[in-house]
Amino acid sequence: MGARRHARDPADGSLRQRLKERIRRHGPLSVADYMGACLSDASGGAYACRQPIGAAGDFITAPEISQIFGELLGLWCVAVWQSMGEPAAIALAELGPGRGTLMADALRAWRRVPKFLERVSVVLVETSPVMAEAQRNTLQDAPVPLNWCADLGQLPSGPLILLANEFIDALPVRQLVRRGDVWCERVVTLDADGAFAFAKGEAVSDADLPPAPDGAILETRPAVTELLSVLAARAPLAALFIDYGHDETGFGDTLQAVAAHRFADPLGAPGEADLSAHVDFVALRRQAEALGLHCYGPMLQGAFLLKLGLSARRDRLLQHATPEQRAAIMSSTTRLVDPRQMGALFKALAFTSHGLPPPPPFHPGI
Ligand code: SAH
């Protein structure tokens, strides 16, 4: 380390500069730490400092595509509350609520169900101050109590319904790479030119890890384990996770960067692109079941939304729409359910505590 390199306080630099400095001083970063910094670093992370969702941002999500998405999820909450025996107070938590659009649309649906509206209080679980501000703006006229917290552990006790859309994909993913017959941490380091590069890190000893061919990459999400153990301790509970990912566990690198709606290099511009990775629904379900949660799905998003009544709601909206609005309603709803668009890549997985019936639209055996 030369004196010149230390002359400038690295805390003043861009996230790129600070991460490079960190690697030079302390060695390579795990992929999970790199991803966590790119998304959540307090002064350079994509969520912490910017608002990446929407047409003007990096990527678009289902609630931003059609109001029907949040309305149907809102009605899902009402049905689940009824299946709990209509408890007098129900906490409704949303994890990673983005711009607050899903919750605004759910609230619109609840206005037609006053008995639910009187009982519900909403908690938005959000770590980014920028996103929480966006949620406050969107939800300023909400007719129910709203609270924000940064951590699932701060949720009120009592009956809980939880929604999370595209939340898990944004939790840091850990990558392991197979070398011979050992798994090694996959890390981000600097190459000879000082650019970020992936490399093989230290060997990991974990008897639960499966064998795999040389070079295979295995992804896990440490934060999910924590999340599920908090949920498994709650009753009554119903939780719905919708995300993109696979319903067969496989090996491979799914870390991706999206900037201004185009795929980008995950190492190209830390904090300036959205980083995410596929959700492994099979692993998620297996982990949840091991903790005693009842699991339903994964069901393809297209089937899930159609069974919840997307077509009927769409047809109602079409009745009062102008020709331009009709075209927009048709294309946005198609985008959500068409298997060539979001209908098959995205999936829904629901969890309940013991003793509750299957939530809609799941039936025994699904
Ligand atoms: N659900 C929204 C936004 C998805 S983007 C939608 O569908 O549009 C992911 C969201 O999760 C952002 O709001 C981000 O700030 C938030 N987030 C990321 N990591 C988080 C964490 N560990 N705890 C709480 N919120 C988190």
Expressed in angstroms and rounded, the spacing between residue 169 Cα and the centre of ligand 1 is 9
Amino acid 62: pLDDT: 98
Q: What is the pLDDT of residues 136-192, one digit of tens each?
A: 999 999 999 999 999 999 999 999 999 999 999 999 999 999 999 999 999 999 999
Q: What is the pLDDT of residues 66-109, one digit of tens each?
A: 999 999 999 999 999 999 999 999 999 999 999 999 999 999 99
- Whether 306 and 337 have beta carbons less than 8 Å apart is answered as yes
Pairing relationship of beta strands 90-95 and 160-165 according to DSSP bridges: parallel
Mean pLDDT, the chain, whole residue set = 94
Residue 359, both tokens: 């939530």
Expressed in angstroms and rounded, the spacing between residue 306 Cα and the centre of ligand 1 is 25
- The rounded Cα 72 to chain-centroid distance in angstroms is 18
Expressed in angstroms and rounded, the spacing between residue 132 Cα and the centre of ligand 1 is 10
In which residue are the tokens 């980014």 written?
Answer: 128
Question: What backbone phi and psi angles, to 5 degrees, belong to 338?
Answer: -65, 125
97 lines ligand 1 (CB under 6 A): yes
Amino acid 136: pLDDT: 98
127 lines ligand 1 (CB under 6 A): yes
Measure the CA angle with vertex 281, ends 360 and 289; round to 5°. 70
* Domain limits, the chain: 14-352
94 lines ligand 1 (CB under 6 A): no
This prediction has a pTM of 0.94
| CATH number, span 14-352 | 3.40.50.12710
Expressed in angstroms and rounded, the spacing between residue 19 Cα and the centre of ligand 1 is 22
Three-state DSSP state, 25: helix
Rounded-to-integer distance, Cα 333 and Cα 65, Å: 8
Strand partners, 122: 92, 146
185 lines ligand 1 (CB under 6 A): no
Say which residues have a Cβ less than 8 Å from residue 65's Cβ, sequence separation at least 6. Answer: 332, 335, 336, 342
DSSP symbol at 172: P
Q: What is the pLDDT of residues 230-259, one digit of tens each?
A: 999 999 999 999 999 998 878 899 999 999
DSSP symbol at 89: S
Amino acid 135: pLDDT: 98
Pairing relationship of beta strands 182-190 and 196-204 according to DSSP bridges: antiparallel
Q: What is the pLDDT of residues 276-302, one digit of tens each?
A: 999 999 999 999 999 999 999 999 999
> At residue 3, does pLDDT exceed 80?
no
36 lines ligand 1 (CB under 6 A): no
Query: 179-183 — which CB contacts under 8 Å span 24+ positions?
Result: 179/203, 179/214, 179/215, 180/214, 181/211, 183/209, 183/212, 183/218
> At residue 1, does pLDDT exceed 50?
no
Amino acid 365: pLDDT: 44
Directed axis angle between helix 323-337 and helix 310-319, to 10°?
A: 170
Amino acid 363: pLDDT: 74
244 lines ligand 1 (CB under 6 A): no
Band of residue 12 on the pLDDT scale cut at 50, 70, 90: low
**Among 13-27, 135-149, 244-258, 323-337, which stretch is predicted with the lowest mean pLDDT?**
244-258
166 lines ligand 1 (CB under 6 A): yes
What type of residue is 242?
A: I
37 lines ligand 1 (CB under 6 A): no
